[in-house]
Amino acid sequence: MSSVEQYEYVFPGGGKGGKTLAMELAQAGHRVALIERGMIGGSCINVACIPTKALIQNARVAHLSKTPKADMAQVRRNVKAVVDGLVDINMKAFVASGFELLMGTGHFVGPRRIHVEMNDGSARQIEGDHVFINTGTTAAIPDVPGLRAAAPLTHVEALQLDVTPEHLIVIGGGYIGLEMAQAFRRLGAPVTLIQEAPRVAMREDEDVTSLIEASLREEGIDVRVGVKPVRVTGTSGQAVKIELDNGDTVSGSHVFVAAGRTPVKKSLGLDAAGVEVDARGFIKVDERLATTAYNTWAIGEVAGTPMFTHASFDDYRVLKVSGSAGPVSDSRARGA
């Protein structure tokens, strides 16, 4: 058993809110450790908002230049260059701040005590006076027979494609499904979008969603609303067939799932930490983002915060203010 290393502040996960607070605390002279599996700077920079917007911009250029089929290998290189640049900027900021970056995967073995399996094969045990869980969420795969076995794309795998899909089937009509459907259509792929709800972007007003659907159809996307998959056969990247509840069948080469998010909490050992979760699996927090465990907080999506980078940054502000003598900002008083 390795000896336990003591820190004032420990951050499992390095998303926007967590990394910002960790850097500020380290710069103030505190002993801080941040545990990160591999995404320096968080998911936004590596696999979410930044690379997807870079992909969308490449798709927009292809669309405006009337390029019938984009060079996906070049598009991927373009996206990677943007990500690499921001990762480098974040790494330099981490080093300059003075916190210790532990590259590995951690799980709680007791209150505020974490066992870390380092990426280099070694192991460490650390304990923090204060712990801030910032592990984020991952794409949810609906419980449709055959879907998980089909190895569907999520936004992570879709960003790694270096060939244009022969026919992309998108499951989910929220903003992620919509932007990726349009991007890949503009990059030259035939696209079918399947939405269980009666219209896309259900959180928006009906007149807005009507315009969105009309725009997507005008660009050649086959938009199907009010239907849901009931069975999937085949393998994404080769050939897939999706049976719908209205009796129709959709066939394609790839299937992309954008059907919500689930908290990254598996194997975190939250029970050992004394941290409770709600019925949806998100960590229970109060208005100050405190969990049910002593001196343990949760930041960002894993705590049910709206799934946007600016909302995670607002969690940083809540924590910063609530730890001072000033007025407390209430995390429940925010919209997306």
Clarify whether residues 123 and 58 are in a common domain: yes
Domain count, the chain: 2
Clarify whether residues 134 and 153 are in a common domain: no
pLDDT of 2 reads 64
pLDDT at position 329 over 60: no
How is residue 216 written in tokens? 């997507």
Residues 25-52: tens digit of each pLDDT: 999 999 999 999 999 999 999 999 999 9
pLDDT of 332 reads 46
93-122 average pLDDT score: 98
Clarify whether residues 220 and 119 are in a common domain: no
325: Cβ contacts below 8 Å, ≥ 6 apart:
none
305: Cβ contacts below 8 Å, ≥ 6 apart:
299, 311, 312, 314, 315, 331
The overall average pLDDT reported for the chain is 94
How far is it, in rounded angstroms, from Cα 326 to Cα 133? 24
How far is it, in rounded angstroms, from Cα 285 to Cα 304? 9
Q: Which of 195, 225, 259 is the last residue of a domain?
A: 259
Q: Which of 226, 244, 259 is the last residue of a domain?
A: 259
178-187 average pLDDT score: 98
- The CATH number of the domain holding residue 326 is 3.50.50.60
pLDDT of 87 reads 98
How far is it, in rounded angstroms, from Cα 302 to Cα 307? 9
What are the DSSP calls for 108-149, one per residue? Answer: EEETTEEEEEETTS-EEEEEEEEEEE---EEE-----TTTGG
Nearest to 94 by CA among 48, 44, 25, 47: 25
pLDDT of 335 reads 44
> How far from chain centre, in Å, is Cα 329?
25
Q: Which residue has the tokens 């080769």?
A: 238
pLDDT of 322 reads 83
**Domain, as residue range, for 278:** 4-139+262-333
Clarify whether residues 213 and 319 are in a common domain: no
pLDDT of 326 reads 29
82-86 average pLDDT score: 98
Clarify whether residues 12 and 116 are in a common domain: yes
Clarify whether residues 110 and 36 are in a common domain: yes
Q: Are 225 and 214 in contact (CB under 8 A)?
A: no
**Helix (H, G, I), strand (E, B), or coil: what is residue 261?**
strand
234-240 average pLDDT score: 99
Q: What letter represents residue 213's amino acid? A: E
Clarify whether residues 125 and 9 are in a common domain: yes
- Give start and end residues of each alpha helix (H) in the chain: 16-27, 43-46, 49-64, 72-97, 155-158, 175-186, 206-218, 270-273, 309-322
Higher pLDDT, 323 or 244: 244
Q: Which of 259, 277, 300 is the last residue of a domain?
A: 259
Clarify whether residues 319 and 243 are in a common domain: no
Q: Are 163 and 237 in contact (CB under 8 A)?
A: no
| pLDDT above 70: percentage of residues in the chain | 95
In this prediction, residue 336 has a pLDDT band, given cuts at 50, 70 and 90, of very low
Residues 286-298: tens digit of each pLDDT: 999 999 999 999 9
| pLDDT above 90: percentage of residues in the chain | 93
pLDDT at position 265 over 80: no
Clarify whether residues 176 and 115 are in a common domain: no
